[in-house]
A and B are shown apart, each in its own frame.
Chain A
């Protein structure tokens, strides 16, 4: 099938393109990009006034399969991704059982292919059973298709094991995605430590719980020349540590999540469990630092940490409620609204953070609309305001703090390998 996307503003930072052009897709790949393209038998998508960009790549999602399908599964997660313009995801391995062996990696990838909406990739674990004891079989995980290793959800407690992981993973050219958290400093906290935790009487999580762990991993990676990627960065001091390390030439990349540049811990007021996640929402100073980190390249990527939970896990006392929010269906809108509309990033830079750079981090050939590349494409409207409504989410998880928010950047069409996997219906 041939698809011709007409008159859209093609934003393809990898190839230095940001102008009104047509895009012709044939056989699942980009066949040509240019003005006034014509293709007699092609299906036409009119993208006038819309942006046409490479499909988004989300380095950090929880699709919960196997084992926790009551929260989300690979099918509903894929649909949520498609609806959010995300054509590639990297699943975190803290499923049940955890993905610490090759057959489980294959299972996730096969399920993703069966569903057939987007590219479902996965991380394998760093340690067996995510217990911070022995290394998982990282070579086999990679051979089975894992694009990174991570004990996400649980920090690697042992500094020595982290060092071995970074050394060993280097051989297989697979990045170590680190969830940086010093659990001793967390000490039972359930939100950011600061005025709001004092005001709500909730135990605070100090910012150092993140920055100490980030610093540890950077220093280890530097020493062993390992390939480190820091997940969901939320604090100013962690960003400064990453910035300094990059200046020294450490092979380091880092991501943040949309909630860390669009919300502060004020969202927890009223004991709002949909504003509870880990790392927690921080304060204005950190939000500012996250935005600056995105602007100067300290933070390479925006990943959602899409963490669906059942409502029974959120309709609880704040300190007992599960950590995490869904993000796939709001990430682009939050990026457009809080970064592009505010003039912090250009549209092209936003696409770099949400597609080009994350693809590079996992060495996956996406994030480009060059001729011959697989045609993963998102078409969205940068200028029309829309309202977020969690009830319309394709994800099983409705746990979002953005319900009722007005955003720009609504996804119109999502295309994976030349196939339309999401088309917004006009109401």
Chain B
């Protein structure tokens, strides 16, 4: 694999290879050895056109733990607003002998575009509403860690599916791994012809959660309310918020996930965010491990 642009056409074998590598990285990290040298002599650039704290820090630490030279570029606004095209920006970075470029961009397909013009490995850290593959990988790693196999696992994804690249990458990855994905969210926040992705969608959040092994809340951007996609945060929480009572409908040992950052009391109620079923903290740890794994597999010395 040269690039990680998404999970759309990635096989179960490839996904498992990344997850196995991530578990290996996790053992190293937990043993306190954060000085693997598999990226020594390599340079990793994060090119973020959207604000991000956790994803960017996660990638930065992942590359540093592996001994890479890491640098960050925060580009504000679109390439057009900046007066330089995305391709030119990417080519410039590429000319500085970058081995991996990690890109986040508000336009779907931006990583695919630069992959055609650069020698570096391109890692998609979120493109528009399209994909966020490392998030789905860390989600799957967490599920595998807690639940064993992903095959036959019932995963309920709840919230703004329409605008969510996290949901899309999870749908592609989980389906490849044989999990049963169900979705729930307001009709105004469901993408067109979703059923053709092979996942059932419900407007009734309780139906989706019923018997789920994993309940995943999606972040809702509060500005969507201003655009008229839902009437109020209050009503959103009433119909689609995950709370303790709704979690009771899930399997007894179900886990609760969220890609973060959470709007407390909107997607999830505070009690369950901090409750026993929540694995939100572990998702963050696994995020670093998955990114270490991806970096090593794409750009590492020990390929």
Residues of A within 8 A of B (CB): 193-195, 197-204, 270-271, 312, 315-320
Contact = CB atoms under 8 A, between A and B. Distances in A.
A200 B109 contact: yes
Question: Which of A197, A199, A316, A317 is the most central at the interface, judged by chain B CB atoms within 10 Å of its CB?
Answer: A317
A204 B127 CA distance: 16
A201 B192 CA distance: 11
Interface of B: 8, 78-80, 85-87, 105, 107-110, 112-113, 127-131, 165, 168, 191-194, 196-197
A195 B192 CA distance: 6
A200 B130 contact: yes
A348 to B, nearest CB: 39
A410 to B, nearest CB: 31
A202 B110 contact: no
28 contacts: A193-B192, A195-B193, A195-B197, A197-B191, A198-B196, A200-B109, A200-B130, A201-B109, A202-B108, A202-B129, A203-B129, A270-B112, A271-B108, A271-B113, A315-B87, A316-B80, A316-B86, A316-B87, A316-B113, A317-B78, A317-B79, A317-B108, A317-B113, A318-B108, A318-B109, A319-B107, A320-B78, A320-B80
A209 B105 CA distance: 27
A199 B130 CA distance: 8
A319 B112 CA distance: 13
Given A201-B127, A201-B128, A201-B168, A317 B192 contact: no
Nearest to B112: A271
**Secondary structure at chain B's binding surface: helix, strand, loop or mixed?**
mixed
Contact of B194 (A198, A270, A317, A319): A198
Given A195-B193, A316-B86, A201 B78 contact: no
Given A198-B196, A202-B129, A317-B79, 7 more contacts: A198-B191, A200-B130, A201-B130, A202-B109, A204-B191, A316-B113, A319-B107
B134 to A, nearest CB: 16
Contact of B110 (A194, A195, A315, A317): A317
Given A319-B128, A320-B80, A198 B193 contact: yes
B5 to A, nearest CB: 10
A421 B182 CA distance: 62
Contacts of A198: 191-194, 196-197
A200 B6 CA distance: 11
Contacts of A194: 192-193
A201 B193 CA distance: 12
Contacts of B128: 201-202, 319
Contacts of A270: 112
Nearest to B227: A187
A198 B85 CA distance: 26
B196 A195 contact: yes
A270 B192 CA distance: 19
Contacts of A320: 78-80, 107
A204 B192 contact: yes
Contacts of B113: 271, 315-317
Question: Which of A197, A201, A271, A320 is the most central at the interface, judged by chain B CB atoms within 10 Å of its CB?
Answer: A201
Contacts of B127: 201
B194 A318 contact: no
A198 B192 CA distance: 6
A279 B8 CA distance: 27
A140 to B, nearest CB: 37
Nearest to B132: A201
Contacts of A195: 192-193, 196-197
Q: Which 4 A-B pairs have the closest CB atoms?
A: A201-B130, A271-B109, A317-B107, A201-B129
Contacts of B130: 200-202
Nearest to B194: A198
Contacts of B165: 201
Nearest to A187: B227
A195 B193 CA distance: 5
Contacts of A201: 108-109, 127-131, 165, 168
B4 to A, nearest CB: 16
A310 to B, nearest CB: 12
Contacts of A203: 129
A202 B196 CA distance: 16
Contacts of B107: 317-320
Contacts of B131: 201
B20 to A, nearest CB: 28
A319 B192 CA distance: 18
A157 B296 CA distance: 54
Question: Which of A194, A195, A198, A319 is the most central at the interface, judged by chain B CB atoms within 10 Å of its CB?
Answer: A198
Contacts of A193: 192
Contacts of A271: 108-109, 112-113
B275 to A, nearest CB: 32
A231 B214 CA distance: 50
A197 B128 CA distance: 12
Contacts of A204: 191-192
A194 B192 CA distance: 5
A316 B168 contact: no
A202 B108 CA distance: 6
B290 to A, nearest CB: 21
A364 B113 CA distance: 45
Contact of A200 (B86, B108, B110, B193): B108
Nearest to A202: B108
Contacts of B196: 195, 198
A202 B130 CA distance: 7
Nearest to A192: B192
Contacts of A202: 108-109, 128-130
A140 B127 CA distance: 50
A318 B128 CA distance: 11
Given A200-B109, A201-B165, A271-B109, A317 B191 contact: no
B192 A197 contact: yes
Nearest to B190: A198
A147 to B, nearest CB: 36
B199 to A, nearest CB: 11
Contacts of A317: 78-79, 86, 105, 107-110, 113
B106 to A, nearest CB: 8
Nearest to A312: B85
B111 to A, nearest CB: 10
Contacts of A316: 79-80, 85-87, 113
